[in-house]
Amino acid sequence: MTQGHYWFSRLKEGIAIRKKIQQIIWIICVCLCLPLFWGMGAKPPLVGGPAPAFTLNDLEGHPVSLVDYQGKVVLLTFWATWCEPCKKEMPEIQKAHEQHKDHGFVVLAVNFGEKPEKAKEFVNQMALTFPIILDRKVEVASRYGVVSLPVSFFIDPNGLIRERVFGGTLTAIGISEVLLGLQEKTR
């Protein structure tokens, strides 16, 4: 074998080994990332269909179930402390909560996968008084098809989803309008 053939065959071996390593790295990355997205983007419940039942703990560790609020209009909102649109929306949700809490309206704010301490700090800074519940494993968010934040669902007194709102567009006035519309429909 000549010197040129030797180096050429070594070069081909090196390229083949590098391709194998790249394939192995790609497979490892896919295997590591797949569980992160498992269930994410699941088909969300349909507007007009039943809201998936759940029980999660609040910031004090007490269980909170959606079924406990049957007979009321529920604003179910998914949020996180790092979400800028959530930060913008929360004061608006708080205003609507204060205006309508004595009139058959409940806010359930589901924290998206964060530690209780982090959520509690955010709640204290924002002076939020509605129930904050923790979806540490993001299982409820997956059942609701949540893939971006914030996303909110208006659930009527019969447990049916009537509206889904994406992207931090909720205002106190908008919440009031939807609430009044839902209350009129169920009278």
Cis amide prior to 131 (ω within 30 degrees): no
Q: Which CATH superfamily is domain 55-185 in?
A: Glutaredoxin (3.40.30.10)
Can you read off the two tokens belonging to residue 167? Answer: 């992207």
Rama region for 104: left / alpha / beta (φ>0; ψ in -120 to 50; rest) = left
- At residue 145, what are phi and psi to the nearest 5 degrees? 70, 25
pLDDT at 35 over 50: no
pLDDT at 180 over 70: yes
pLDDT at 28 over 80: no
Listed by start position, the domains of the chain span 1-38, 55-185
Output the pLDDT for position 23: 76
The string over 47-65, giving b where at least 16 C-beta atoms fall within 10 Å of a residue's C-beta and e elsewhere, is: eeeebbebebebbeeeebe
| The model's pTM | 0.77
The whole-number average pLDDT for the span 25-35 is 58
Output the pLDDT for position 25: 75
In the 8-state DSSP scheme, what is residue 166?
E
Can you read off the two tokens belonging to residue 28? Answer: 């490892």
Output the pLDDT for position 1: 56
Task: Return the CA Rg of the chain.
Answer: 24
Q: Which amino acid is residue 164, in one-letter code?
A: R
Read off the pLDDT of residues 106-134 as tens digits, 9 standing for 90 and up: 999 999 999 999 999 999 999 999 999 99
Of 21 and 55, the one with more pLDDT = 55
Mean pLDDT (the chain, rounded): 88
